[in-house]
Amino acid sequence: MWGAMRRRTAWGMYGLGLATLLAVFLVGTGVGGALAPGAGPRPVRSVRSVPVPVKAVALTFDDGPSPEWTPRILNVLQQYGARATFFLVGLELSRYPQIAKQEADAGMELGNHGFRHALLVGMDPTAIEADVRPVEQEITAITGQRPTLYRLPRGRGDATALRTLADMGYTVVYWSVDTHDYQDRRTAQGIATQVEREVKPGSIVILHDGGGNQLHTVEALRLFLPVLKAEGYQFVTVSQLLEMAKGG
């Protein structure tokens, strides 16, 4: 999500570099490159929460990496033995790849949030792939593993977007607990209270580590992580949650 207008101004600074990158990318690839020749369409996969038999929850963070807020969030997560999934915006990833490496080295999962944080509604498959592939390639270079999870900017996509992402091998990850922590009016206590009230086994919680001042998110983690941990919850990545549902 990309709530307040203050969070949009930074993107306009990268127009020329982005145009160049996308032009180079479009010359070298086509839609459906992830599929073997002759393979049929992949099933469209999306998830909002996951039915699991244990008290496990997936915390997710959007719009980073941020040199100011991501390391603070990582520090709190590590204090409580928590893992999480970070959905990275390509423009920020290109600026701060070392922060993404810190996430990976800390045992966090890296997912794709598009290069420009662009709304995919109304985009054609070629434009969608051009926005998704550069982030995928950078994450693969950092982690050695191709990302398979994608979060739609602002949680919105149409049939073309979902079909294209599926053909690229992605599972679209929504959420079941929306903290709205991108809004300035939210307080750390308000976020923590909401998470403690709404979380259930298999919940996917959306938070943010980029896009603006996320101090209230950092402080909210300090409040709700020990409470939920005392209730028996474990904090896992989205992929781990999916594996738990399979009995893995």
**Tens of pLDDT, residue by residue, the chain (248 residues):** 444 433 433 333 333 333 333 333 333 333 233 334 445 678 899 999 999 999 999 999 999 999 999 999 999 999 999 999 999 999 999 999 999 999 999 999 999 999 999 999 999 999 999 999 999 999 999 999 999 999 999 999 999 999 999 999 999 999 999 999 999 999 999 999 999 999 999 999 999 999 999 999 999 999 999 999 999 999 999 999 999 998 75
Q: Which pLDDT value is given to residue 40?
A: 64
> Which of 132, 204, 205 minimizes the C-alpha distance to 164?
132
Closest CA to 44 of 168, 206, 202: 168
Rounding to the nearest 10 degrees, give the CA dihedral for residues 223, 87, 107, 179: 10
Q: Which of 63, 113, 167, 208 is catalytic?
A: 208
pLDDT at res. 28: 31
Residue 179 has what pLDDT? 98
Rounded Cα–Cα distance for residues 209 and 212 (Å): 8
pLDDT value, residue 246 = 87
Catalytic site includes residue 113? no
Burial of 119 (0-12, 13-18, 19+ CB in 10 A): middle
Domain boundaries, the chain: 46-245
131 tagged catalytic: no
What would the CATH number be for the domain defined by 46-245?
3.20.20.370
Q: How many residues does the chain have?
A: 248
Candidate list 62, 63, 131, 167, residue with the active-site label:
62
Strands of the chain, DSSP E: 45-47, 56-64, 85-88, 109-112, 149-150, 171-173, 177-178, 204-208, 234-236
What local confidence, expressed as pLDDT, does residue 23 receive? 33
- Angstrom distance (rounded) from CA 222 to CA 216: 10
